[in-house]
């Protein structure tokens, strides 16, 4: 079981543009490794901006083909606000210290991986407590010039350990790193 930050980034290190848009990423479609990745995930965590993006995306699809909450796994959403729930989705709203939440996620994942969807600072909070095992970062061939940062933390000495670098669809490079343990 691992705790993984699996995300896509622009070449200049942003996971969303300054107005939280993802068009720069969605123009490429989904990477072909996602079905294998999600099969091994037992619990999901995200911050409120990411959750609100998913909510807005579901709303945008109204009138088009029916879309549903994308995760079968229990999902913990970090927020200090009262956010709308999604009928039928196993979403738990939490706030504050990530450590007790991570403990519950690991228990409920029952041997599967914990996926930290983002954003970057939330993942940084898990890093601060030594709770992140792997970064799996798909680099898209675009630059954004600003936006939501990939991981606004200093992890330099010891550095991340490169596990693999693979190309996908002649478009993306996917980098997999292990986070060093003290």
Min CB(42)–ligand NAP separation in Å: 19
Distance of CA 14 to the CA centre of its chain: 13
Q: Is 148 in the site for ligand NAP (CB under 6 A)?
A: yes
Using CB under 6 A, which of 80, 157, 164, 167 touches ligand NAP? 80
Using CB under 6 A, which of 119, 139, 151, 176 touches ligand NAP? 119
Stretch that binds ligand NAP, among 13-21, 30-38, 67-75, 174-182 (CB under 6 A): 13-21
Min CB(137)–ligand NAP separation in Å: 9
Q: Is 49 in the site for ligand NAP (CB under 6 A)?
A: yes
Q: Which is nearer to ligand NAP, 4 or 7 (CB)?
A: 7
Q: Is 75 in the site for ligand NAP (CB under 6 A)?
A: no
Q: Which is nearer to ligand NAP, 96 or 180 (CB)?
A: 96
Q: Which is nearer to ligand NAP, 154 or 157 (CB)?
A: 154
Using CB under 6 A, which of 20, 104, 112, 153 touches ligand NAP? 20
Long-range contacts: 170-175, Cβ < 8 Å, 24+? 171/28, 171/140, 171/141, 172/8, 172/28, 172/31, 172/138, 172/139, 172/140, 172/141, 173/138, 173/139, 174/31, 174/33, 174/136, 174/137, 174/138, 174/139, 175/135, 175/136, 175/137, 175/138, 175/139
Q: Which of 10, 3, 5 has the alpha carbon at shortest distance from 121?
A: 5
Using CB under 6 A, which of 8, 43, 44, 109 touches ligand NAP? 8
Token look-up 């991570």 returns 102
DSSP for 48-104? HHHHHHHHHHHHHTTTSS----S-SS-EEEE-SS-----TT--EEEE-S-HHHHHHH
> Binding residues for ligand NAP, per CB under 6 A?
7-8, 15-16, 20, 25, 46-50, 53, 78-81, 95-96, 98, 117-122, 125, 148
């Amino acid at each position: 079981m691992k705790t993984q930050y699996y995300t896509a980034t622009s070449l200049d290190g942003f996971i969303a543009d300054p107005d939280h848009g993802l068009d720069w990423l969605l123009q490429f479609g989904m990477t072909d490794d996602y079905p294998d990745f999600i099969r091994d995930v037992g619990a999901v965590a995200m911050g409120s901006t990411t959750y609100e993006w998913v909510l807005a995306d579901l709303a945008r699809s109204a009138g088009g083909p029916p879309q549903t909450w994308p995760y079968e796994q229990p999902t913990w959403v970090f927020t200090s606000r009262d956010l709308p729930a999604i009928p039928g989705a196993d979403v738990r709203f939490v706030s504050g210290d990530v450590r007790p939440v991570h403990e519950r996620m690991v228990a409920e994942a029952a041997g599967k991986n914990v996926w930290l969807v983002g954003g970057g600072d939330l993942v940084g909070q898990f890093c601060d407590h030594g709770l992140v095992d792997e970064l799996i970062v798909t680099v898209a061939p675009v630059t954004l010039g600003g936006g939501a940062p990939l991981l606004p933390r200093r992890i330099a000495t010891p550095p991340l350990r490169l596990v693999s670098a693979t190309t996908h669809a002649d478009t993306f490079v996917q980098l997999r790193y292990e986070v060093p343990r003290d």
